[in-house]
Every structure is written in C-alpha cells, then in structure tokens.
Amino acid sequence: MAKIIFKKPEALTDKQNHYCPGCTHGVIHRLVAEVIDDMGIRDNTVGVCPVGCSVFAYDYFNVDMFQASHGRAPAVATGIKRCLPDRMVFTYQGDGDLASIGSAEIVHAAARGEKISTIFVNNAIYGMTGGQMAPTTLPVRRQPPAPGVEIGN
Amino acid sequence: MAPGSSTINRKRVVALKKYLLKGNEAIAEAAIKAGCRLFFGYPITPSTEIIEYMAKHLPAVDGSFVQAESEVSAINMCYGAAGAGVRVMTASSSPGMSLMQEGLSYIAANELPVVLVNIVRAGPGLGGLGPSQADYFQATKGGGHGDYRLIVLAPNSVQELVDLTRDAFDLADMHRNPVLLIADGILGQMMEPVVFKELEAPSLPDKTWATTGAEGRPRNIITSYALQNEIGEANCLRWEAKYKNIAATEQRWEQYMIDDADYVVVAYGTTARIAKAAVQQARQEGIKVGLLRPVTLWPFPVKAFAALGGKVKGYLTVELSAGQMIEDVRLAINCAVPVHLCNRQGGMVPSPEEVLARFKEVFPNSVEGGV
C-alpha cells in the first residue's frame, strides 16, 4: 500500500501560477501555504495581496483573500484584524509595494503593534512593470530606466 | 418626511429625550447608535470632534478606534473593516477627502459598505475653515478614478445629521455602496436640540461575501481586478445596473411653498436655510417663489424637477462655490428656462437679503410692476 509522504498543501489552489520562471514566488507561496496547513488555520485566515506581481495571489492561496491598492495592504489588514482579532491576517508584499509606495503603511502598522503577519518578498526591482529601480535596488546593477548607469557610484 | 422615495422605510416607535449636541458629535453618536463599531480617522479641522468622540466612546461598546498615520491609510483600514463585514465609518475635511479618493474608488469597485463624512473646507488647496460647498463635484461626479458613484446625503440641521447618519449605514448595507454625508463647518460646529429616534431596523441583505475566514463555506475573494476585458465589462455592467437602481429609488428632497411658485430657489445644506428665509421674505412681498432642497445630491432629485413640469419660469441656485450644483439643475430641466446663480465663496455665506436682491436682479419680472 502506497503512503503519501508529499503533496500540495490544502492552502494552495489547483491553479497554475503565472509567475516568471525562476522568480521563486511559487516556492514562497508554497512555504506560506505549508505553514497555514501545519497550523491548521486555513479556515481561519484572511490574506491581503496588494499591487505588483503578488496581485494575483488570491488565485493561488486557498483562503479568504482581499485585494488591496498599491502599498496599502498593512492598512487593509489592520481594518480586517481589528474586526476579527481571532483570525490570522497576513499580507504578501513585494519591495516596490512595501518599501516604496507603502513605506508609511508598514512602518505605522508595526509602530502600532498591529497583530498582522507580513510576508515581504524582496527581488530588488519592480518586476511586474519590467525591472525598474526600486528603493531596494543594490549598487552596481544595470537596469531600466537608467540602462548602463552604475547605481551607487 | 421629505418627498421622493427610499428603499429604507421606517415605522417610528418612540421618541427619546432631547439632547443639545454639536453637529459633529451628533454624527458620531448617531453612528454608534446605528451599530458602527470601527472608526479610522486622521485629525483635521473642522471635523475633528467626530474622531475625538469616537475615540472616547467606541471602546465602551466593544468597538475599536484607530488614529491612522494618514487619510490614505484611514480609508484603506475602512476598506478592510468593511470587507470583514463590520459597520465602519471615517470622517474628514476636504484635503483629507482628496487623499481618500484612491481608497474610495477601490471600496466602490469592490462594492463595500463604508460611511464617510466630509465636513467641507473652503478649498481648493489647503482651504479655509469657513463653510463651503466647493466639494460638490468631487462628491457627486466621482473624485477618484474610474466610473463609480457614491450615495451623497446633504443634511441641513443637526437633527438631520443624526437621521441621515443612521440612514447612511442602512443605505450602504442595502446597496453595497459607499455613502457620503456632506456638510460644512457651520453644520459640524453648531449646536441644536436633537432626538435619537427609536426606529425599526430595515430588512438588509446578509453579508455572505465578507472575508472572515472560509470556515464551513467556499472561500470569499474581494477583488475587482480582471485582466480579461470580458470580465471587466461584466463588472462595469453590474455596477451600472446598481447605480441606475439607486438613481431610480433613492432620490430625496424637501420642497417649500412650491405649489403655486413661478420661480424656484434651489439650495442644499447650510444655504437651504438661508434660501428659505429669503423665500419667506419674498413671499411677504408677494413674489411667487418656492424652495427646492435636494437631500440626496447623488442621486440628484431630478424627479422633483420633472414634477414641477413647465410651470416654473426660472431657477436660482444658492451655492457656496463658483456654481457646481447649477449644472445638475440645468440638466434636470434640460435648460428649458433660465437658471441663475447666487453665491459666496472662500468661507463666506450670503444673507437672506443678498439672496433676495440677487433673485430680483436676475428675475426682474417676478416683482409686481417689474420689467
């Protein structure tokens, strides 16, 4: 009799993801979903996905999901968590979202001690729009909108 | 009861005792009595008493108040709380409302019930603290991006602030749409006696769409985003049908001395009180003029104008702006007769005498023996 020792987490849907090869969002989604499964909280979780490559995360996480505007996920999560303090509320944000347009929302959610969880995925660029510089972009990288310019030198 | 119609029909049960309350505090207390349990805001004059009252009184009813880091954040907290299925409100004044427009567009797109209050400043820019109606366009024509509508309620007394705040929550839940209560520094700051009527709760749809955790049901997703244009269009058609239904069922207005009127003054909120005094003075002089006061700014009460038919010779709008509602009046009557403007701006208000003088100036034939 075969024994299942490895399977897709319950907290992931069956939908094939749209992410670019090698971006690792798929792996990170899986890790988050495994944790949700391990904690047994799939029915008790609300996820918030803002703008960026993560915008379609509601297609992949098999939990109640909420789509926020660019950078505002921690504020939306604050609103949900204050209503539903016994639920697990998480945001899934890229670096353009969290560290640039949404820097105020994440800093102040932390300052207030909001009981939310944030998965911060930093690829050091704006991925969805084609690789523009982000506040997290490291020195000595070449990318649009300043091709050929060595950043930080 | 104002004419017009509403899907919120109530039977009055008992009247409670009278309170002398400031307009802003009356809004806040009415909201708590309506079941509002979440409030997210950022201080701004002349609306700050609302957030102060909520901060003080919400904890006593197991509610939650958060002073956000900005209006941008406050409206997105409202977005989250409304999606979680709880009655939620925010309040601000003009520049703060501008910052909320992005979030408001998302709330409208995702069809979530949020109640907003704008105690208008005399903008554009930072804007003075005096009374103004210069945010009419922002309130009724969109404000944020995309094709959406807010239900806009315009009270003209502290009692009506109370009554319409309660209705705002029911209308928001009934239609799954944000509702904006619009007033100014006079209404927000002045004190008048009010009663909190004990009323039957209307029958409202269950919030089966709320994201509360998917226990015992298929998961809920709150999003309006679609890469497929066909889905995008289907969303737009659904919203359009909803707005048409609201426009057909929720027009409210008040009319005064209008049955035999040759001329009609149109004004809402603070200026309606001034215009009413001007109409009374005109009547004493034998001028056949009435007052039409829109209570809903969107949907604009076009039915009231249609009911007047072709018997009115001219309209005068009284506005604290360069003339915004006047465009809707002209549309409502299809520009059939002259529509003139009497206005003050930047925080100034006209006196009844000024309104009457302007009326006589633009409608000289209205006066006995006039030319």
Distance CA A45, CA A24 (A): 23
pLDDT at B16: 73
ipTM of predicted assembly, 2 dp: 0.93
* Strand partners of residue B364: none
Distance CA B123, CA B324 (A): 14
Per the CB < 8 A criterion, the answer to whether B133 and B319 are in contact is yes
Contact A83 B211 (CB under 8 A): no
- Domains of chain A, by residue range, sit at 25-133
Q: Which of B137, B154, B139, B83 is nearest to B114 (CA)?
A: B83
For residue B223, the 8-state DSSP code is -
**What DSSP letter does each residue of B179-209 carry, written as one string?**
EEEEEEHHHHH-EEEE---EEPPPP----TT
**What DSSP letter does each residue of B46-94 carry, written as one string?**
TTHHHHHHHHHHGGGGT-EEEE-SSHHHHHHHHHHHHHTT--EEEEE-H
Half-sphere exposure of A76 (CA within 13 A, CB side): 32
CB count in 10 Å sphere of residue B65? 19
- Token pair listed for B221: 């997703």
**Which chain B residue's Cα is nearest to A12?**
B219
For residue B4, the 8-state DSSP code is B
- Among A44, A62, A108, the residue with its CB nearest the CB of B73 is A108
Q: Calculate how close chain B gets to A104, using CA atoms only, in Å.
A: 8
Q: Report the CATH architecture of A25-133.
A: 3-Layer(aba) Sandwich (3.40)
Contact A105 B223 (CB under 8 A): no
Q: Is the peptide bond before B202 cis (omega within 30 degrees of 0)?
A: no
**From its phi and psi, is residue A130 left (phi > 0), alpha (psi between -120 and 50) or beta?**
left
- Burial of residue B209 (CB within 10 Å: 0-12, 13-18, 19+) is middle
Per the CB < 8 A criterion, the answer to whether B182 and B9 are in contact is no
Q: Calculate how close chain A gets to B86, using CA atoms only, in Å.
A: 7
Q: How many residues does chain B have?
A: 371
pLDDT tens-digit series, residues A3-52: 999 899 999 999 998 898 888 999 999 999 999 999 999 999 999 999 99
Contact A79 B83 (CB under 8 A): yes
- Among A42, A67, A80, the residue with its CB nearest the CB of B84 is A80
* Strand partners of residue B41: B67
What residues of chain A lie within 8 A of the CB of B114, using their CB?
none
What residues of chain B lie within 8 A of the CB of A87, using their CB?
212-213
What residues of chain A lie within 8 A of the CB of B86, using their CB?
83
Q: Which helix (H) or strand (E) holds B263?
A: strand B263-266
- Among B66, B80, B214, the residue with its CB nearest the CB of A80 is B80
- Among A45, A64, A83, the residue with its CB nearest the CB of B86 is A83
**Which chain B residue's Cα is nearest to A58?**
B221
Numbered residues of chain B with Cβ closer than 8 Å to any chain A Cβ: 37-38, 40, 64, 66, 68-70, 72-74, 76-86, 88, 102-103, 106, 110, 211-216, 219-225
What residues of chain B lie within 8 A of the CB of A75, using their CB?
68, 72-74, 76-77, 79-80
- Among B80, B212, B213, the residue with its CB nearest the CB of A78 is B80
Q: Does domain B12-204+223-249 have CATH number 3.30.310.220?
A: no
* SS3 per residue for chain A: CCCCCCCCCCCECCCCCCCCCCCCHHHHHHHHHHHHHHHCCHHHEEEEECCCHHHHHHHHECCEEEECCCCCHHHHHHHHHHHCCCCEEEEEEEHHHHHHHCHHHHHHHHHHCCCCEEEEECCCEECCCCCEECCCCCCCCCCCCCCCCCCCC
Half-sphere exposure of B33 (CA within 13 A, CB side): 20
pLDDT tens-digit series, residues B180-210: 999 999 999 999 999 999 888 899 999 999 9
- Among B79, B212, B220, the residue with its CB nearest the CB of A79 is B79
Between residues 2 and 31 of chain A, which touch chain B (CB distance below 8 Å)? none
DSSP helix/strand/coil, B116: strand
Contact B77 A45 (CB under 8 A): no
- Residue extent(s) of CATH 3.40.50.970 domains in chain B: 12-204+223-249
Q: Which of B155, B40, B30 is nearest to B91 (CA)?
A: B40
- Residue extent(s) of CATH 3.40.50.920 domains in chain B: 253-366
Contact A75 B216 (CB under 8 A): no
**From its phi and psi, is residue B51 left (phi > 0), alpha (psi between -120 and 50) or beta?**
alpha
In whole angstroms, how far apart are CA B355 and each of A5, B280, B371?
A: 83, 11, 19
Distance CA B210, CA A65 (A): 10
- Which carries the bigger pLDDT value, residue B274 or residue A142? B274
- Among B80, B215, B223, the residue with its CB nearest the CB of A79 is B80
Contact A80 B81 (CB under 8 A): yes
What residues of chain B lie within 8 A of the CB of A45, using their CB?
213
Contact B106 A78 (CB under 8 A): no
Place of tokens 């103004």: B132
Q: Is A108 in the B-facing interface, judged by CB distances under 8 Å?
A: yes
Contact A64 B79 (CB under 8 A): no
pLDDT at B12: 59
Q: Calculate how close chain A gets to B230, using CA atoms only, in Å.
A: 18
Q: Tens digit of pLDDT per residue, chain B (371 long)?
A: 467 878 877 765 555 789 999 999 999 999 999 999 999 999 999 999 999 999 999 999 999 999 999 999 999 999 999 999 999 999 999 999 999 999 999 999 999 999 999 999 998 999 999 999 999 999 999 899 999 999 999 999 999 999 999 999 999 999 999 999 999 999 999 999 999 998 888 999 999 999 999 999 999 999 999 889 999 999 999 999 999 999 999 999 999 999 999 999 999 999 999 999 999 999 999 999 999 999 999 999 999 999 998 899 999 999 999 999 999 999 999 999 999 999 999 999 999 999 999 999 999 998 875 54
Q: Report the CATH architecture of B253-366.
A: 3-Layer(aba) Sandwich (3.40)
